[in-house]
Amino acid sequence: MFAGEHRGTHTARFGEIEQRGIALTPKGRALYDRLLGEAGVGKDNLTHQRHLQEVFSPFPDSEFLLRQQGLAYFRYRLTPAGEAHRQAFRPGDDPQPLIERGWSSHNRLFMKTFCRSAPPGFFSLTSATRYRPAATATPAARPLRRRWAVRSMMSLPFINRRKSAVNDVAVCCKISTLLA
C-alpha cells in the first residue's frame, strides 16, 4: 500500500483481470489514452514510474478538477437545503456553487471493466458501440487490440443502467435534469 492510498481488492474471474476506477467521460478517456501513448515503456520500473508521473501530470488527481474539466462522471443529488432553494438555480448551472452551499451532494460514478487482453465475448455483453483508443498501452497489446475490438463502456447508459430517481442525476457538470 502506498502512502495516502486506500486498501483495495483484486478480483479475477476466468483468468481475466478486473479494474475499477472513476468513470471517465469521452473527453477524460481521450486525455488518458493520449498520455498513456506518450508514456511508452521504460527501461526499468523505477525510471518508468518517474516518467509516468511526469507524463500524467496534466491529468487531474482531484475530484474537483475532474468535475470542473468535465473528465469524469458524477451523480448529483439535491440535499434537503437544495430542495428548499430549487427556484434559485437553472438548468445548466455549474454545480460547484450548489455543492459549496450544501445544496447538492455529489458522488463519483465508478466503472468496472475487464483488462484489454480479455476474451472479446465479455465485451460483447456490455455495449453495442465500438471503442478504439487513440493510444496503445504497450507494443505487446497492439496485436490483441487489432484482433479484439473493445466495446465502449464510457457511455452514461452503460455506466448507469438503473433509472435515476427524481433529483438523482448522472451527468457530468450539468444539473439540467435536477429541475425537470
Domain boundaries, the chain: 12-179
Say whether pTM exceeds 0.75. Answer: no
Nearest partner of 59 among 46, 71, 74, 76, judged by Cα? 71
Q: Which residue has the higher pLDDT, 15 or 47?
A: 47
Q: What is the DSSP annotation of 86-98? A: GGG--TT--HHHH
Tens digit of pLDDT for each residue in 16-26? Answer: 544 568 889 99
Residue 8 pLDDT grade (very low, low, confident, very high; cuts 50, 70, 90): low
